[in-house]
Chains A and B, each alone.
Chain A
Amino acid sequence: MTTEFWNGNRAAAEAARQARVQVVAAYPITPQTHTVEYLSEYVAAGRLDARLVRVESEHSALSACCGASAVGARTFTASCSQGLQLMSEVLYFASGMRFPIVMAIANRTLSVPVSIWADHQDTLVNRDCGWIQLYAASVQEVYDLVLMAFRTAEDPRVHLPAMVAYDGFILSHASEPVEALPDEEIRALLPPEPPHLRPLLDPNDPKQFGEVLFPDFYPDIEYKKHRALEESLEVMGEAFEDFHSRTGRRLSPVETHGCEDAEIVLVGLGSMMQTARHAATRLRAEGTKVGVAQVRVYRPFPDRDLVEAVGGARTVLVLDRDIGYGSAGMVYPDVTRALYHAPSRPDVLNFIVGTGGKDITPKTIERCVELGRHGYRGMSVFWPDARGPAEGIAYTPGVKA
């Protein structure tokens, strides 16, 4: 293992290179652009034997990956924000066709107003398109999760595409030390050299794909796709184990810090959970028992791991770096659903933080904990960042207890 000093985009590109991707198709968009530029450099320098499809749009980027995947190639793309939205139609096509495409996403909010900064709006609105969704909290995780994404997506029990999301600029552009694996190790970690996947489109075995399915059979296919995504959690668990034995790094669907005896548990995705850890440590020193549960695997949603992580905590604070307009943050409903049947059934409050790149500082987290300490009191969705009514915090009234 070597220690490198990489930013998130570089880490994603290096992982894709080491995974020996064969076809890369992507379109520039800040803050993802460098990922494709790095890959272009690797190909130009002969470090990667792949073809770059220099497409004219993100819609075509993902479509080209679908084509390559249909003849058994390992494919990679990267995008975010407006680009990911432009792909939306093809996201469903890719998962419906069960193409194990891997996509890196440097999270960025959606226009308008225009902003190039991070929040999770772009990936969360696409949470239900049948892709595996992984969220990294550090550059190391970006690297690790891209590898895990290839391994899980291509597993014959899964055969679904996977997204690895990491916060734009905060992770995509900031450099951190990364423990990189040697190529041989990665060869052992991932499925064999493509095309180990049977090509769908083969003149020697002609078949028809992408066709109409009548209502009588539609639910069966939907159920199979859903189950495959759910079961990918177990497959990923095996991959995490193998990864641990080779690297000593332990990955889990939900990463916990100080949850064992916590009264309040913070739940959320991405780099803000590092900040949450930092704040939790401080709060603990002051006597408040705060734990942190970082949801690393968001699709499939790890219900059981989350319930375990929360344990007997009285209050759960869901930090959403996004907003499901007219409802709540988008992670919130998943958490409440999982905890509804939990033995302790804690109060679950929602905090909309860091949208459009607003800094999430330890103070932000402390503010959430402060508000959370007072309990539910008829309010469920808080906006500690926004300039709102009366006491300076905007809130959406929840259902009265």
Chain B
Amino acid sequence: MTVRLKDLPTEELLHKGNLACAGCPEMVGFRHVLRALGPETIVINATGCLAVITQMGVPKVPHFHVLFENAPAVVSGIDDALRVQGRREGVNLLVVAGDGGTADIGLGSLSGAIERGQDFVYVCFDNEMYMNTGGQRSGTTPYLARTTTTPVGAESRGEPRTEMRRKDMVEIAVAHGIPYAASASIGYPLDLVERVEKAARVRGPTYIHVHSPCPTGWGMDPAKTVEAAQLAVKTGCVVLYEVEDGKRRITRGVARRAPVEEYLRLQSRFRHVVADPVALAEVQRGVDERYAALLARMA
């Protein structure tokens, strides 16, 4: 069922105000995710920006900030404890984490929880770097992006790992035989809500990877968060799709992809790329290759 604006749940589950930077994508995404899941939800929050900024803007549901890498294990214990006590029915267990907590340090823990078939919705807010510690690279940082640990200098052009080897969390989840996984974007809230609602109906582990352009880390005008998120999709840097029982389906297709430059231009972390036609072509090629590989999997 497609979610339309008038179907959006109206109950706000966040108290007003928060500690985020202006234009923060995680706060936008979190708000929608909570609304989609409703008040019978327990939130397990891995360390990262979101855990800090919700010190204010506190959720109106139980909110447990745990360690950086153990949220999937904590939710496993909650899932099993509620089950053995006969109190599991009707409660959504939501894990929220950043790309660092998910693709890097918490990958083993997430893998274990999915493999065990624990019942939870996992939402990763991917801002493509470690923002809570000030913007270091992560396993999802795009090729040639400047971060504090992949600076641009005489011997370095930014993130050296190619686009094809960038960690693909949806596919990693799918490789576990997960019943439901999807990508989503804070630029498309109706689609995001639909993905989350669908995940909540599934019994067992579900994974949603939410692209979250971060003005602070990416060197962007805070007014452009949503625009950047949409451009990421329009250029094919991000593909919105879902995987149900192994079957992949594009949830928001792009008829003609725009050149990546339109997306990169908004971000100072790519300034050296935009200024260098060779680097720009390389980035475009990387995105094309990754896009083609993903589309080939759809068939």
User: Does A209 sit at the interface, judged by CB under 8 A?
Assistant: yes
Q: How far is the CA of A51 from the CA of B78 in the complex (A)?
A: 11
**Residues of chain A at the chain B interface (Cβ within 8 Å):** 22-23, 25, 49-51, 53-57, 59-61, 63-73, 75, 89-90, 93, 194-195, 200-203, 205-212
**Is B296 part of the binding interface, using a Cβ–Cβ cutoff of 8 Å?**
no
Contact assessment for A23 and B80 in the assembled complex, using a CB-CB cutoff below 8 Å: yes
Q: Are B66 and A210 interface neighbours, CB within 8 A?
A: yes
Find the A residue at minimum CB distance from B13: A206
Instruction: Check: B280 CB closer than 8 A to any chain A CB.
Output: no
Q: Do the beta carbons of B42 and A93 come within 8 Å of each other?
A: no
CA distance A77 to B159 in the complex (A): 41
B80 and A53 contacting across the interface, CB-CB below 8 Å: yes
Question: Between A and B, how many residue pairs show CB distances below 8 Å?
Answer: 142
Is B18 interfacial (CB 8 A cutoff)? no
- Other 6 A-B pairs with CB < 8 A, given A25-B77, A59-B73: A71-B81, A75-B81, A201-B42, A206-B59, A206-B60, A212-B52
Does any Cβ of A come within 8 Å of B267's Cβ?
Answer: no
Bound form: Cα–Cα A20–B293 in Å? 52
Contact B111 A70 (CB under 8 A): no
B98-116 interface (Cβ within 8 A of A): 108-109, 111-112, 115-116
Q: Contacts A57-B112, A60-B70, A60-B109 given; indicate if A208 touches B65 (C-beta within 8 A).
A: yes
Contact B65 A59 (CB under 8 A): no
Contacts of B41 in A (CB 8 A): 203
Taking a contact as CB atoms under 8 Å apart, the answer to whether B73 and A203 are in contact is no
Contact B77 A53 (CB under 8 A): yes
Residues B65 and A67 in contact, CB atoms below 8 Å apart: no
Q: Which of A22, A71, A72, A93 contacts B66 (CB 8 A)?
A: A93
Q: Check if B235 is an interface residue, CB within 8 A of chain A.
A: no
**B170 at the A/B interface (Cβ < 8 Å)?**
no
Kindly identify which residue among B62, B84, B91, B115 contacts A23, using a CB–CB cutoff of 8 Å.
B84
> Which bracket fits the contact residues of B?
35 or more
- B65/A22 in contact, CB under 8 A: no
User: In whole angstroms, what is the CA distance A50 to B80 when docked?
Assistant: 9
As a 0/1 sequence over residues 51 to 75 of chain B, the CB contacts with chain A under 8 angstroms (1 = contact) are 0101100111111111101101111
- B111→A23 contact, CB < 8 A: no
Q: Please determine whether A75 and B52 come into contact, CB atoms closer than 8 angstroms.
A: no
Given A60-B109, A73-B84, A203-B41: A209 in contact with B76 (beta carbons within 8 A): no
> Could you tell me the distance between the alpha carbons of A209 and B74 in the complex, rounded to whole angstroms?
13
A23-B80, A56-B111, A73-B84 are known contacts. Are A64 and B73 too (CB-CB below 8 A)? yes
Chain A: CB-nearest residue to B41:
A203
Q: Known contacts A53-B116, A203-B91: does B42 contact A73 (CB below 8 Å)? A: no
Distance of A89 from chain B, by nearest CB (Å) = 6
Contact B67 A63 (CB under 8 A): yes
Q: Check: B83 CB closer than 8 A to any chain A CB.
A: yes
> Are B61 and A22 neighbours in the complex by a CB distance under 8 Å?
no
Interchain CA distance A58-B42 in the complex, whole Å? 24
B259 interface hit (Cβ, 8 Å)? no
Q: Is B131 an interface residue (CB 8 A)?
A: no
Partner pick for A208 among B63, B72, B84, B87, CB 8 A cutoff: B63
Q: What chain B residues lie within 8 Å of A71 (beta carbons)? A: 78, 81-82, 85, 87
- Name the CB-closest residue of B to A25: B77
Residue of B nearest to A59 (CB): B70
Contact A67 B40 (CB under 8 A): no
Interface membership of B228, Cβ < 8 A? no
Cβ of B44 < 8 Å from any Cβ of A? yes
Q: Which residues of B contact A209 (CB under 8 A)?
A: 62-65
25 A-B pairs with C-beta separation under 8 A: A22-B84, A25-B77, A51-B83, A55-B73, A56-B108, A56-B109, A56-B111, A59-B109, A60-B108, A63-B109, A64-B80, A65-B77, A67-B81, A68-B80, A68-B81, A69-B81, A71-B87, A93-B66, A195-B85, A201-B62, A206-B59, A209-B64, A211-B55, A212-B52, A212-B55
